[in-house]
Amino acid sequence: MAADKYVFVTPMYNLGFLAGLKMYIDSVCVVGKTFVYTATGPVRLLKDQGRKCLHIHSSGGFHFGKKEDHSVPYLKSIMGFMGIEDFEAIVVEGVDAIPDRAETFKVAAAERARKVAIQF
Ligand SMILES: Cc1cc2nc3c(=O)[nH]c(=O)nc-3n(C[C@H](O)[C@H](O)[C@H](O)COP(=O)(O)O)c2cc1C
């Protein structure tokens, strides 16, 4: 609640991310702290304070933007649920599927990260 910027760095494991991050999410999504339910629906208690989230995510194959991706879309949803809608993802994909291009993919992502960092 005290933070105004959140950075998550995850590898994709079985179409999602590691259990440790899920445990963290389950610890911070707390009624009365980060959201509340009302008769007219949930209220996001972390909204309107300029908070932003950056998710840096890597995967061996190519899943980003596809239905089977339960990592980036899930984190985006849960942060939005608490009111943090300024969400950006930097995804490094295909590092195992096309190993001889892995370095190229990483260099491209690092370049994007440098650009994103200026605004973040
Ligand atoms: C247990 C396990 C499960 C994985 N599941 C997936 C997966 O579902 N999809 C995928 O594209 N890559 C999967 N991978 C590959 C990792 O996402 C990839 O190796 C990792 O993102 C590379 O990041 P790193 O260089 O930071 O370790 C898996 C790797 C492991 C060890």
Q: Please give the backbone phi and psi of residue 119, each rounded to the nearest 5 degrees, phi first.
A: -90, -20
What separation in Å is there between the alpha carbon of 14 and the centre of ligand 1? 7
Between strands 5-11 and 86-92, the pairing is unpaired
Q: Please give the backbone phi and psi of residue 67, each rounded to the nearest 5 degrees, phi first.
A: -60, -30
* DSSP string for residues in 16-34: B--HHHHHHHHHH--BTTT
What's the confidence (pLDDT) of residue 49?
85
Q: What is the pLDDT along the chain (120 residues), one digit of tens a residue?
A: 999 999 999 999 999 999 999 999 999 999 999 999 999 999 999 998 899 999 999 999 999 999 999 999 999 999 999 999 999 999 999 999 999 999 999 999 999 999 999 999
The 10s digit of each residue's pLDDT in 8-24 is 999 999 999 999 999 99
Q: Report the atom number in ligand 1 closest to the C-alpha of 14.
A: 8
pTM exceeds 0.85 for this model: yes
Residue nearest (by alpha carbon) to ligand 1 atom 30: 13
What separation in Å is there between the alpha carbon of 15 and the centre of ligand 1? 9
The structure tokens listed for 23 are 């445990």
Q: Report the atom number in ligand 1 closest to the C-alpha of 61.
A: 11
Q: Which of 13, 69, 95 to mutate to test the pocket of ligand 1 (most atoms within 8 A of CB)?
A: 13
d(CA 7, CA 120): 10
What's the confidence (pLDDT) of residue 48?
83
Q: Which domains does the chain have, with CATH numbers?
A: 5-119 (3.40.50.360)
